[in-house]
Amino acid sequence: MEQVLFRHNRPGRCVTFAEYRAEGGFAALEKALSGMSPNDVQQTVIDSNLRGRGGAGFPTGKKWSFVPRDLPGPRYLICNCDEMEPGTYKDRVLLEANPYSLIEGMVLAAYAIGVAHAFIFIRRGYEEAAANCRRAIAEATAAGLLGKNILGSGFSLGIDVHQSAGRYICGEETALMNALEGRRANPRSKPPFPAVKGLWGRPTVVNNVETLANIPAIVANGAGWFKGLARIPGAAGTKLFCVSGQVRHTACFELPLGTTLGEIIDGPCGGMLPGRTFKACIPGGASTPYLTREHWGLPLDFDTVARAGSRLGTGGIVVFGQETCMVAATLNMIEFYARESCGWCTPCREGLPYVRDILARLEAGTGTEEHITLLREHVHYLNNAFCALAPGAMGPVEGLLRLFEDEIREHIVRKRCPLGGRQ
């Protein structure tokens, strides 16, 4: 399988600037600045069908196209590396192995949308990744690949690294912008959308690390090549799948979009742990509904996973065995989201702790049929929250009700957890 994001990886260490350059690094930037217009770069990304790898899966080139071309004044690009979704660690792995693809991708994106200043907004605990980004910025600047008049083209770009205050809500793009401005990290009302009025009231594009790191290969090799990497029609490129849970090998793997769930678990993951059998997983981080054994042959792509009732999200797969209590697993995730709510809107501030308490009662064996009804109502009610945090948090709850209602009722009938509680 052809590697895109992990092509430059070295065992146990970060690739060096010289190694990255020797393997074709920054050739895409040279190609773009010497013979492509900003519109050419943007159209190449549109044609590639690259979709955002940060969770929502929105088409990247289309997102760039929303930035007004005729609006005077500065505009900004932000790389979102807050990555606090439980079960997700791909961006950390990528930046600890190779920060240069991100830097080159950011320069290409900035060129395409007319940005002169960009930011990498990175999770507070990602010290090594942040240090790698700062070193890569310095090396690229010294080589004339970043900064003033890049490669004599007349295009200039500066990139700053900003470490987050450390809250999950900072990963929501408008809350991220408030945090970057030094404000409380609450989400903003949309519209206006960031592409028109974002950071400091100026047009702003926010892309994920993995998304931006794909740009150099797309510009260098073309949109058709990128689409040809996927295994099913309509998909494009590879995806970083970071796997954790009850499998033999937990790691981050780069695989073609369209690889099936079973192929990932039986392939690079080495199968389930000894004595364990597959029961369910979350396919895209803790805000996505469960998949079960019936989805073993499901090709993992944005559209196919959505049709199966879940979301590909970040590609963070957490695997559960048959001995796992799904009520307890869901409670564990809801406890995180209830804690991380910014408190800005009532459905999220009040609803998530209430859902947490219902699940805690069910897990303890003190729940009733009425609690199942209340959970169903809250799956609906919390979709009316101000931002995507609460609807996302209800993803595993919706999956629990749809796929494991019999397990919930067993807690009620037996008045205890039939599987012994949290594993």
Give the integer Cα–Cα distance in Å for 222 and 32.
12
Residues 6+ away with beta carbon under 8 Å from 380: none
- Give the C-alpha distances (Å, rounded to integers) separating 141 from 15, 37, 150, 216: 17, 22, 9, 17
Give me the DSSP letters along 228-251. Answer: TTSSSTT--SEEEEEEEESBS---
Tokens found for residue 207: 């892309």
Q: How confident is the model at residue 71 (pLDDT cuts 50, 70, 90)?
A: confident
Give the integer Cα–Cα distance in Å for 288 and 391.
10
pTM (2 decimals)?
Answer: 0.95
Is there a common fold for 17-227 and 238-321?
A: no
**Least-confidence region, from 130-139, 283-292, 355-364, 414-423:** 414-423
- Give the C-alpha distances (Å, rounded to integers) separating 364 from 90, 295, 338, 394, 407: 34, 30, 19, 20, 13
Give the phi and the psi of residue 121 in degrees, each rounded to 5.
-95, 110
pLDDT of residue 32: 98
pLDDT of residue 271: 97
Give the integer Cα–Cα distance in Å for 279 and 326.
9
For the cut 70, the answer to whether the pLDDT of residue 422 exceeds it is: no
Domain-by-domain residue ranges, the chain?
17-227, 238-321, 327-414
For the cut 70, the answer to whether the pLDDT of residue 423 exceeds it is: no
Classify 327-414 by CATH class: mainly alpha
Per residue in 321-372, pLDDT (tens digit) is 999 999 999 999 999 999 999 999 999 999 999 999 999 999 999 999 999 9
Mean pLDDT throughout 375-386?
A: 94
238-245 sheet: strands from edge to edge: 252-256, 238-245, 316-321, 278-282, 291-292
Q: How many CB atoms are closer than 10 A to CB 36?
A: 18
Query: Architecture of 238-321 per CATH?
Result: Roll (3.10)
Give residue 187's identity as a one-letter amino acid code.
Answer: P
For the cut 80, the answer to whether the pLDDT of residue 420 exceeds it is: no
Q: Which CATH number fits domain 17-227: 3.90.1640.20, 3.40.50.11540, 3.40.50.300, 3.40.640.10?
A: 3.40.50.11540
For the cut 90, the answer to whether the pLDDT of residue 233 exceeds it is: yes
Cα angle 152, 155, 159; round to 5: 115
CA atoms within 13 A on the CB side of 113: 32
Q: Are 265 and 290 in contact (CB under 8 A)?
A: no
Q: How many CB atoms are closer than 10 A to CB 154?
A: 9
Q: How confident is the model at residue 88 (pLDDT cuts 50, 70, 90)?
A: very high
277 burial (CB, 10 Å; 0-12 / 13-18 / 19+) is exposed
240 DSSP β-pair partners: 254
Q: How confident is the model at residue 55 (pLDDT cuts 50, 70, 90)?
A: confident
Q: Residue written as tokens 């000894």?
A: 274
